Amino acid sequence: MDNPYKIAIIGGTGKVGRHIATQAIQKGYHVRMLVRNPEKLLYKNDAIEIVKGQVQDIENIRELLKDCQVVINTFGQPSKEDPIYSKVTTTIFNVMEDQNISRYIGVSGGSLTIKEDKKSMMNRFGAKMFEVFFSKMLQDKKLEWEFLLNNKQINWTLIRLPFVKDSLTSNQIKENLTDMPGTKITNQDIATFIIDHIDHSKYVHKAPFISH
């Protein structure tokens, strides 16, 4: 059965993005995806509308988001480049507000620590190590979080992830608002959680951890 929602996917060519697009189509959603190089797309589906462009270009974002009701952002940071998560999210939100789009779901790492967290000693240590070795990336992720916190116009959810292991089989998804409940998850289960929470208000303006 067709779902009236049209979903814009940013990062759709990544491993989790492919699962999101596939599951969204299976649920009857209309899907539009931003792709830098369509000719390099490893999987084809006539039900996916492709917009050629890049996430740094606001005109490409405007074209992607036109007539959409939901934005899912799993953008992956280009290697060897300065982190641009916060800039990308700001651009997306500006276009969403212009086009009256209210639902946004993004992803971040479990190393992002926010005020309400009650992380275990092991997870605090892991976050500290990440901050040491990936300081620029984590600093930019914190800027993104501060931006989200200050935006109440859009119904955003930021999902925090552990290590992603596609060698695992799908499993029951654990969720927690204050600490990572496990150490691993599959891209397929990340996609399932995202699609299942498009219409849910449980985690609006929140940043849940999910894992197996």
Q: How is the chain split into domains, by residue range? A: 6-211
pLDDT in tens, 156-175: 999 999 999 988 788 899 99
Of all residues in the chain, what percent carry a pLDDT higher than 70?
97
- The reported pLDDT for the residue numbered 45 is 80
Place of tokens 């940043």: 207
Is the CB of residue 106 less than 8 Å from the CB of residue 154?
A: no
Mention every residue, 6+ apart, whose C-beta is less than 8 A from residue 196.
none
d(CA 32, CA 48): 6
d(CA 38, CA 44): 10
HEC profile for 104-161? EEEEEECCCCCCCCCCCHHHHHHHHHHHHHCHHHHHHHHHHHHHHHCCCCCEEEEEEE
d(CA 192, CA 194): 5
What is the Cα 173 distance to its own chain's centre?
17
- The reported pLDDT for the residue numbered 168 is 76
25: DSSP letter = H
Domain 6-211, CATH number (from 3.30.2320.50, 3.40.50.720, 3.40.630.30, 1.10.3260.10): 3.40.50.720
Q: What is the pTM of this model?
A: 0.95
What are the respective helix, strand and coil percentages of the chain, to the nearest 5? 35, 20, 45
- The reported pLDDT for the residue numbered 167 is 80
pLDDT in tens, 3-35: 678 999 998 888 899 899 999 999 999 999 999
d(CA 180, CA 117): 10
Backbone angles phi, psi at 155, to 5 degrees: -85, 80
